[in-house]
């Protein structure tokens, strides 16, 4: 597949997004930008959440990660399903009852302004790093197969990608994203289905199952207590990841809060939730088929400097070099959809959280031109922050991005879990002066527990349980800060 053809596909795709954004953002004000005028169609939001949650990481990293983790990733998906039910029936009612635009306004009402800003800060940090990691993975593929042949360096290629995203997001905000993200979910899922269909024609099915069994690619459950992918660790960790990265995450909640009422928002969450197991199963199946195909054809897998398989490079290698032009075309459409959808809504929700939680913007008020200009500037500044983060990740990344994102989430979302849980399940008032210290100390303690626990216990790894441990430490810290009990 030539770089010129890739450029044509991305160009046409981008023009489609710009057209939709232009049409949906006409006469858009701050209320449209922040909450879509409370008129978002629930099934469009549900469809858009698929691409929001999957992104280029799922499209590339989950299939590649099958080489090391087999099918055990499904265990964490089971946890996601449980966690999303908690979001639908515990957190959504809270947000709608308080009529929130930024969900961290709850922390301000429950504890005070310092807590609201602390919660918002952890979201801004988490989502900036998460969006950068997701975008880095996709940008790396586009760099290899599109920009590098034209002699464009990686920093410039990332600037181009982010610039394209800025063009169709800075005006319409949530009102536009509900439509563009839904469309991108359709392209992403279509690319998955067509890739699987195409790959079926290349597999020698006489020997396929033997290769699957020999390499244990069909292993789903891990009952050994020591490794990080133990069943109970993965399910429990997945549950808390879903609660925090969906229910306590402004990026995932903002479009839900733009629905007409809680009934429609809940239908959105539950509809999206019902697709998770099937979609992730097909992505993992894709990974198994890619490795089986590589072994049958004797294809040399991409390697890292340490001699291990570069799992994030497996799918792109097969799509562009071994499965024909059709497969490469499908891959680039799916990757483009995943790339744009994973970053566009993040820029909008980062801007929303900063404007409301730090600048105290009221989305219900008529927005002046100076405030609109300030919002646009903040939108661009977060794009710059993501760009810088991508360049830093490029220097330090040495593993599958999906693992990196979930590990980082355990440290950055833990304080949010503890703060929300303490506020919801207790009536205790706290001394706010210590909130920042608690939310800094808890992740640090979690890091050291994660590091030294295997040495103390003979190999027991915390894995994705770092998130609930972090949240529990934050909860205990807030308990220490208790001031009085209200009647």
Q: Which residues pair with 429 in a beta bridge?
A: 484
What residue has token string 């063009």?
Answer: 167
Instruction: Identify the pLDDT of residue 178.
Output: 82
How does DSSP classify residue 259? Answer: B
Work out the number of other CB atoms within 10 angstroms of the CB of residue 151. Answer: 7
Measured distance CA(107)–CA(166) in Å, rounded? 30
φ/ψ (deg, to 5) at 360: 60, 40
Cβ 141 vs Cβ 320: under 8 Å: no
Output the CA angle 387-392-462, nearest 5 degrees: 115
Instruction: Identify the pLDDT of residue 406.
Output: 59
φ/ψ (deg, to 5) at 473: -65, -40
Please spell the DSSP secondary structure of 13-34, one letter per residue: HHHHHHHHHHHHTTT--HHHHH
Strand-pair category, 482-485 with 428-430? antiparallel
Output the CA angle 126-132-138, nearest 5 degrees: 140
Cβ contacts of 336 within 8 Å, gap of 6 or more: 9, 10, 13, 187
Q: Where are the alpha helices (DSSP H) in 201-323?
A: 205-214, 231-242, 250-253, 262-297, 314-321
Query: Which tokens is 241 given?
Result: 């990841």
Give me the torsion for CA of 315, 317, 321, 325, rounded to 10°.
Answer: 40
- What domains sit in the chain, N to C, each tagged with a CATH number? 3-398 (1.20.1730.10)
Mean pLDDT by groups of 10 residues along the chain of 487 residues:
85 85 72 73 85 73 83 92 96 94 94 96 89 81 88 92 81 75 86 90 88 87 87 92 91 87 92 91 92 91 82 86 87 80 79 91 78 87 91 70 65 93 94 94 93 87 87 96 62
Query: Which tokens is 151 given?
Result: 């002699």
Measured distance CA(285)–CA(292) in Å, rounded? 11
Instruction: Identify the pLDDT of residue 55.
Output: 66
Please spell the DSSP secondary structure of 290-337, one letter per residue: HHHHHHHHTPPPPB-TTSSB-GGGHHHHHHHHTSHHHHHHHHHHHHHH
Measured distance CA(409)–CA(388) in Å, rounded? 19
Instruction: Identify the pLDDT of residue 62.
Output: 83
What residue has token string 């479009």?
Answer: 255
Measured distance CA(71)–CA(311) in Å, rounded? 14
Question: What pTM does this model have?
Answer: 0.86
CA 137 → CA 52, 58, 281, 322, 437, distances in Å?
15, 10, 21, 21, 34
Instruction: Identify the pLDDT of residue 28.
Output: 63
Instruction: Identify the pLDDT of residue 487.
Output: 40
């Amino acid at each position: 597949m030539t770089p010129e053809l890739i450029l044509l596909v991305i160009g046409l795709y981008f023009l489609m997004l710009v057209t939709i954004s232009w049409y949906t953002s006409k006469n858009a004000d701050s209320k449209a930008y922040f909450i879509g005028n409370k008129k978002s169609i629930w099934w469009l939001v549900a469809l858009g959440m698929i691409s929001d949650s999957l992104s280029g990481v799922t499209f590339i990293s989950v299939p590649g990660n099958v080489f090391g983790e087999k099918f055990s990733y499904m265990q964490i998906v089971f946890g996601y399903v449980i966690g999303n039910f908690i979001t639908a029936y515990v957190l959504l009612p809270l947000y709608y009852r308080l009529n929130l635009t930024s969900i961290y306004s709850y922390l301000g009402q429950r504890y005070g302004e310092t807590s609201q800003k602390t919660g918002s800060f952890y979201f801004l940090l988490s989502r900036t790093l998460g969006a950068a990691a997701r975008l880095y993975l996709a940008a790396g593929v586009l760099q290899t197969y599109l920009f590098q042949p034209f002699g464009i360096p990686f920093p410039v290629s990332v600037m181009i990608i982010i610039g394209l995203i800025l063009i169709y997001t800075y005006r319409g905000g949530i009102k536009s994203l509900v439509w563009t993200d839904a469309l991108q979910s359709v392209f992403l899922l279509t690319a998955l289905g067509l890739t699987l269909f195409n790959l079926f024609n290349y597999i020698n099915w006489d020997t396929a199952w033997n290769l699957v069994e020999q390499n244990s690619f069909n292993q789903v459950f891990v009952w050994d207590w020591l490794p990080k992918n133990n069943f109970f660790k993965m399910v429990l960790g997945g549950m808390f990841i879903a609660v925090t990265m969906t229910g306590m995450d402004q990026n995932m909640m903002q479009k839900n809060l733009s629905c007409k009422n809680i009934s429609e928002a809940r239908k959105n969450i539950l509809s999206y939730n019902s697709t998770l197991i099937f979609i992730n199963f097909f992505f993992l199946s894709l990974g198994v088929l890619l490795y089986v195909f590589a072994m049958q054809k004797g294809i040399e897998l991409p390697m890292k400097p340490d001699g291990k398989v570069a799992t994030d490079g497996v799918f792109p290698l097969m799509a562009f070099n071994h499965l024909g032009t059709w497969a490469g075309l499908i891959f680039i459409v799916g990757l483009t959809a995943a790339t744009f959808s994973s970053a566009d809504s993040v820029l909008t929700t980062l801007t929303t959280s900063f404007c409301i939680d730090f600048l105290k913007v009221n989305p219900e008020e008529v927005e002046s031109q100076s405030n609109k200009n300030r919002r646009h500037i903040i939108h661009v500044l977060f794009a710059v922050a993501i760009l810088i983060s991508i360049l830093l990740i490029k220097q330090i990344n040495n593993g599958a991005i999906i693992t990196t994102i979930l590990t980082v989430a355990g440290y950055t979302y833990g304080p949010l879990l503890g703060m929300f849980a303490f506020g919801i399940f207790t009536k205790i008032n706290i001394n706010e002066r210590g909130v920042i210290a608690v939310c800094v100390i808890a992740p640090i303690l979690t890091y050291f527990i994660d590091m030294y626990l295997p040495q103390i216990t003979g190999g027991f790894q915390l894995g994705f349980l770092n998130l609930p441990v972090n949240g529990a430490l934050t909860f205990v810290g807030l308990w220490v800060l208790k001031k009085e009990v209200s009647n």
